[in-house]
């Protein structure tokens, strides 16, 4: 049990891995849990270290992605602690967890009942709102990652901790980048997904992407964009319209529902009027007949899954792969082992059981929703002297190399592993 004068931070998940994020902060008899995610390998979910729900006084949920939210229903088998998050995050989390249950129900150790119980415990908060949990203060701050995403400033009786969740300091079409005052932060718990990679300059990236898409469509082809349902799909559509692509755009799969939910939350969209205008110009694909129609003419089709692991995009892929005047546009990091990564690395993709060479029709544009290496370094540089950095949510090599870079700059940094505890 932590005393008044010390704060204990424990890494339950996301130590040296991207997935199943879960951190607890304890001080003077109170404990808050920051995220409780899942790691999906094939269809089998892996969860963070077990926690006892009765020992948790409150949960803070940074955003809806399953690697941050997908384990939470496990805490609600019998009652459970309050969850502080945005209403938008709660709604999108519901969409994503229901989808996971549909696909992997057999492997997931909870059911709809626990999801409902969890939702009953949501206490909505918004940007810059503070709540108090038995002497620990939680403040939600815009994280710029996906609509509704938050970071948390956690103030205990002896320290101020900033938990970034996933974050992006760069403005995108959809979101304002994260801006945080780090001057009072003693401990920074930071994601390191892109700690070894610099992102391309955003406006140039947008122009390059749009001009390639236009070239394909003007040449009579279909530009297929496999994209994540939440955030990325809507961002891609917004980028194309902003770059004056005025041809047809179809939006399919869970990206449609996510867009509909987002429309109800103007506060979490940077330029809401523009967003609604763009969404009105997009055709939402409802069912098979419209799907057939979408592949008849040149245009853009945006559809999950972003790494070609199932979803509506597979229908389109089977069709467009037959004609090499079409294009496949990968617009996010592809996790090793996914069909999207195999396509990127080898130019080959399995369609109807056959491996097909699509190297001359595959394009990659790095539209990330995470801070890149330069942004992470700029962020850390704002810390006061003597502050500690705990790195999580990154591949082992990337995270350790970034730890060494920070140590070289005289910063007390550690690439944390699962099961590590830090007492301050
Ligand atoms: Zn995320």
Domain positions in the chain: 7-197+369-423, 202-364
pLDDT tens digits, one per residue of 181-196: 999 999 999 999 999 9
How large is the average pLDDT for residues 352-372? 95
Mean pLDDT for all residues in the chain:
96
Secondary structure (DSSP) of 23-56? EEEEETTEEEEE----EEETTEEE--S---GGG-
**For residue 37, how far is its CA from the centre of ligand 1 (angstroms)?**
10
- Residue 272's alpha-carbon distances to 44, 64, 268, 415, in angstroms, are 38, 20, 8, 38
**For residue 46, how far is its CA from the centre of ligand 1 (angstroms)?**
17
Predicted pLDDT of residue 2: 64
CATH superfamily of 7-197+369-423: Ribonuclease Z/Hydroxyacylglutathione hydrolase-like (3.60.15.10)
Predicted pLDDT of residue 1: 54
Residues near ion ligand 1 (CB < 5 Å) are 65, 166
CA 205 – CA 132 distance, rounded (Å): 42
Is residue 3 within a helix (H) or strand (E), and if so which, with residue range? none
Predicted pLDDT of residue 4: 72
**For residue 335, how far is its CA from the centre of ligand 1 (angstroms)?**
13
CA 93 – CA 174 distance, rounded (Å): 19
**For residue 163, how far is its CA from the centre of ligand 1 (angstroms)?**
13
For residue 410, give both structure tokens: 């005289």
> Could you tell me if 22 and 13 are in contact, meaning their C-beta atoms sit under 8 angstroms apart?
yes
**For residue 415, how far is its CA from the centre of ligand 1 (angstroms)?**
19
Predicted pLDDT of residue 63: 98
For residue 239, give both structure tokens: 């980028």
> Could you tell me if 38 and 19 are in contact, meaning their C-beta atoms sit under 8 angstroms apart?
yes
CA 416 to chain centre: 20
Predicted pLDDT of residue 5: 84
**For residue 216, how far is its CA from the centre of ligand 1 (angstroms)?**
31
ipTM score for this prediction: 0.99
Predicted pLDDT of residue 352: 86
User: Over pLDDT 90: what percentage of the chain?
Assistant: 93
Predicted pLDDT of residue 311: 86
pLDDT tens digits, one per residue of 108-128: 999 999 999 999 999 999 999
Longest dimension (CA), the chain: 68
CA 17 – CA 154 distance, rounded (Å): 23
pLDDT band (50, 70, 90) for residue 421: very high
Do the bridges between strand 58-60 and strand 283-284 make them parallel or antiparallel, or are there none, so unpaired? unpaired
Q: Three-state SS string across 6-19, please?
A: CEEEEEEECCCCCC
**Contact partners, residue 100, CB within 8 Å, separation at least 6:** 38, 40, 45, 66, 70, 108
**For residue 220, how far is its CA from the centre of ligand 1 (angstroms)?**
35
Other Cβ atoms within 10 Å of 242 Cβ, number: 15
How large is the average pLDDT for residues 35-50? 90
For residue 69, give both structure tokens: 């939210």
**For residue 295, how far is its CA from the centre of ligand 1 (angstroms)?**
31
**For residue 67, how far is its CA from the centre of ligand 1 (angstroms)?**
7
Query: With 80 as the cut, is the pLDDT of residue 42 above it?
Result: no
pLDDT tens digits, one per residue of 201-249: 999 999 999 999 999 999 999 999 999 999 999 999 999 999 999 999 9
Taking Cα atoms as reference points, which of 192, 128, 155, 227 lies closest to residue 380? 192
pLDDT band (50, 70, 90) for residue 337: confident
**For residue 166, how far is its CA from the centre of ligand 1 (angstroms)?**
5
How large is the average pLDDT for residues 294-309? 95
**For residue 305, how far is its CA from the centre of ligand 1 (angstroms)?**
15
The CATH code belonging to domain 202-364 is 3.40.50.10890
How large is the average pLDDT for residues 11-28? 97
For residue 372, give both structure tokens: 């890149």
Taking Cα atoms as reference points, which of 400, 404, 330 lies closest to residue 367? 330
Predicted pLDDT of residue 44: 83
**For residue 69, how far is its CA from the centre of ligand 1 (angstroms)?**
10
């Amino acid at each position: 049990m932590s005393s008044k004068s010390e704060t204990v931070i424990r890494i339950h998940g996301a130590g040296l891995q991207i997935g199943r994020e879960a951190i607890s902060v304890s001080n003077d008899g109170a404990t808050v849990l920051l995220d409780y995610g899942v790691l999906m390998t094939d269809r089998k979910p892996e969860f963070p270290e077990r926690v006892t729900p009765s020992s948790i006084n409150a949960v803070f949920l940074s955003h809806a992605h399953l690697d941050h939210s997908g384990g939470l229903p496990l805490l609600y088998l019998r009652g459970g602690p309050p969850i502080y998050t945005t209403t938008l995050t709660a709604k999108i989390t519901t969409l994503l967890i229901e989808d996971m249950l549909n696909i992997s129900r057999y492997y997931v150790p909870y059911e709809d009942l626990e999801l409902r119980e969890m939702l009953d415990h949501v206490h909505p908060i918004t940007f810059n709102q503070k709540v108090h949990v038995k002497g620990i203060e939680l403040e939600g701050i815009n994280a710029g990652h996906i609509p509704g995403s938050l970071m948390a400033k956690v103030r205990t009786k002896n320290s101020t901790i900033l938990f970034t969740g996933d974050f992006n300091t760069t403005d995108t079409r959809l979101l304002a980048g994260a801006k945080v005052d780090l001057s009072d932060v003693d401990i920074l718990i930071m994601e390191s997904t892109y700690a070894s990679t610099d992102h391309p300059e955003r406006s140039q990236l947008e122009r390059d992407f749009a001009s390639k898409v236009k070239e394909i469509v003007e040449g009579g082809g279909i530009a297929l964009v496999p994209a994540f349902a939440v955030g990325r799909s809507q961002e891609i559509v917004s980028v194309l319209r902003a770059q004056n692509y005025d041809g047809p755009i179809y939006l399919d799969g869970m990206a449609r529902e996510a867009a509909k939910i987002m429309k109800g939350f103007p506060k979490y969209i940077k330029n809401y009027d523009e967003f609604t205008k763009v969404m009105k110009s997009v055709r939402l694909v409802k069912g098979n007949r419209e799907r057939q129609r979408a592949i008849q003419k040149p245009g853009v089709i945006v559809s999950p899954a972003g790494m070609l692991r199932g979803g509506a995009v597979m229908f389109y892929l089977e069709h467009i792969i037959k004609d090499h005047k079409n294009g496949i546009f990968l617009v996010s990091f592809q996790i090793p082992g996914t069909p999207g990564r195999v396509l990127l690395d080898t130019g080959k993709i399995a369609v109807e059981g056959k491996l097909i060479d699509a190297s001359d029709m595959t394009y990659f544009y790095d539209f990330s929703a995470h801070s890149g290496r330069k942004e992470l370094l700029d962020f850390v540089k704002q810390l006061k002297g003597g502050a500690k950095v705990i790195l999580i949510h990154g591949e082992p090599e990337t995270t350790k190399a970034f730890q060494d870079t920070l140590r070289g700059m005289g910063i007390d940094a550690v690439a944390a592993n699962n099961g590590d505890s830090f007492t301050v």
